Amino acid sequence: MAIDVGSALGQFGFASLSTGFLAGVVIHYGYNLVRSKQSLSVAQEKSKVLLDKAKLDVKSLERDARLQVQEEKIQLQNEMEEQLKEHRKELKQLENQLMQKDQRLERRLDDVEQKDKTLHKRQEDLQEKEGELDNLKKDFMSKLEEVSSMNQDRAREILLERVEKDFQYEIEQKMKSVVENCKEDAKDKCLNIIAQTVQKVSVDYKSDGLVSVVALPGEDMKGRIIGREGRNIRAFEQITGIDVIIDDTPDVVVLSGFNAVRRAIATRTLETLVEDGRIHPARIEEVHKQVCKEIDEECIKAGEDAANRAGVHRLNKAIIKELGKLKFRTSYGQNVLEHSIECSQIAGILASEIGANVKLAKRAALLHDLGKVVDGDESSHARLGAEVAKKHGEKPVVVNAIMAHHEEVPMESPIAFLTAASDAISASRRGARSGQTENYLERLQNLEDIATSFEGVNSAYAIQAGREVRVLVNPEKVNDSAGVKLSHEIVQRIEGELDYPGQIKVVVVRENRYVDYAF
């Protein structure tokens, strides 16, 4: 029973405590609410005061800004007025200057007009005086014609004839002097060009003879070369076309022949046979064919190399092969292929100096001795080379230059003259041709002796390294028909008495001179 009372008291106490707590919360909330309303009222009052103050500040700022803008506007207007005054002042000065210039121009215009009037008046006066002079001239000429009984044209003719007759000697002397001066200038320029050309071109020279020597390993090899009853040496000479000379000279065999290509083939063939040791007609023929093929390839390579060195392109393959054969050909000890290359270079330089076609000049000069490797014809090498060039499509100007480089036919273009000149320059260079001097001089002397042995010949000169003989005859003893006969007789004597390579040109010159003296 006691426990139940306590429990009831406890429950009552807890209920009272809860009710008090709730009442406190309500009171606290109510207090805070009242306090918040009071704070809100105070805040509203403060904000209203601040807002009124801010409005007053804005109005004050707006008033200050308006005042500042007004001041700046007034200041800007003042500045603009000052600048406008300055511009007006400058414009006024420019206007004054323009007015002054205008006044000066007007004064100058007045002066020009006055001068123009004066000149016009003078021109009229001159025209009047010219008319008067023409009339006076006509009157004078009429009176002169009446006095002299001839017209103006006839008087002019008589005057010119008299002047020409009186001054003919002076005119001739002046013309002669001009011609001589031109010749001297041309000679100096030609010598200068030739000297520069020779200086620019440098080609190595080597001399070859007409025989080749083949070394043998021993004396017994000579018997094997000869063969039984000489069949090997006969077969060798028949196949190669070269003579084999076997004498007492130990361990060597000499091959002799004028054709350098065949001699080179024969030399290489014999060297191959000696090295191989098998020597009989069949083997000789086999080796000869093989060497001919090698020489052909070597000629093609040499021709291409020569064309490239000379700067000549687009040559026919057959011409290149014939050109390469010149490697084995010599003229008075000078290698013909090197000579042709040098001629091409010289002709190119000369052509550039005189304004001719450089490519054609090089081409013609490179091919000018092409006929020296052509066999089986008695014609000159110039004609043979021209035929080969024409056959393989070379231009007519090149063909003519090749044929005319020894003056056998007329030269039809500057290219022909350049080709002949380059050939002469290359051949006459010191050390280029090293033939025996004594034999060379003897042959020249024999040519001159044969020519001067005929009646009516005054003098004779061997020129162009013995390729031409100039014969000067007495015109009173030798007429034109006799001159033709004389040239033919000299040619026959030369052919019968002298040995020489190529051909010799005989030129008979018959000249009349008329001289008079004035005292």
Return the pLDDT at 239: 87
377-401, pLDDT tens digit by residue?
Answer: 556 788 888 888 888 889 999 999 9
25-50, pLDDT tens digit by residue?
Answer: 777 777 777 677 777 777 788 888 88
Return the pLDDT at 166: 67
Residues forming a β-bridge with 212: 255
DSSP codes of every residue in 55-94: HHHHHHHHHHHHHHHHHHHHHHHHHHHHHHHHHHHHHHHH
Q: Are 210 and 258 in contact (CB under 8 A)?
A: yes
426-467, pLDDT tens digit by residue?
Answer: 876 655 555 545 566 677 888 888 999 998 898 888 876 677
465-489, pLDDT tens digit by residue?
Answer: 677 888 989 888 888 888 888 888 9
Q: Please indicate whether residue 147 or residue 403 has the higher confidence score (pLDDT).
A: 403
The average pLDDT across 221-249 equals 84
Radius of gyration of the CA atoms of the chain, in A = 61
Q: Are 373 and 299 in contact (CB under 8 A)?
A: no
Residues forming a β-bridge with 459: 472
pLDDT tier at 262 (50, 70, 90 boundaries)? confident
Q: Are 306 and 366 in contact (CB under 8 A)?
A: yes
Q: What are phi and psi of 12, to 5 degrees?
A: -65, -45
CB-CB neighbours of 27 under 10 Å: 10
Return the pLDDT at 167: 67
Residue with tokens 């000018």: 368
Return the pLDDT at 9: 47
The average pLDDT across 123-146 equals 81
Cα angle 9, 13, 17; round to 5:
175
Return d(Cα 193, Cα 65) in angstroms, integer: 99
Return d(Cα 12, Cα 480) in angstroms, integer: 186
What single-letter amino acid sits at 95?
A: E
Return d(Cα 417, Cα 347) in angstroms, integer: 9
Residues forming a β-bridge with 334: 331
Q: Please indicate whether residue 410 or residue 499 has the higher confidence score (pLDDT).
A: 410
Q: Are 370 and 303 in contact (CB under 8 A)?
A: no
Q: At what angle do helices 336-354 and 317-325 cross, to 10 degrees?
A: 120
90-117, pLDDT tens digit by residue?
Answer: 999 999 999 998 888 988 888 888 888 8
Return the pLDDT at 132: 86
Pairing of strands 252-256, 211-215: antiparallel
pLDDT tier at 363 (50, 70, 90 boundaries)? very high
- Residue 1, pLDDT > 60, answer no
Q: Are 505 and 468 in contact (CB under 8 A)?
A: yes
Give pTM, 2 decimals: 0.49
Return the pLDDT at 377: 54
What single-letter amino acid sits at 443?
A: R
CA dihedral for 131, 135, 140, 142, sign (positive or negative): positive
% of the chain surpassing 70 pLDDT: 82
Return d(Cα 374, Cα 336) in angstroms, integer: 14
285-337, pLDDT tens digit by residue?
Answer: 899 999 999 988 888 898 899 889 888 888 889 888 888 888 888 776 678 88
Return the pLDDT at 254: 87
Tokens of 191: 């010598």
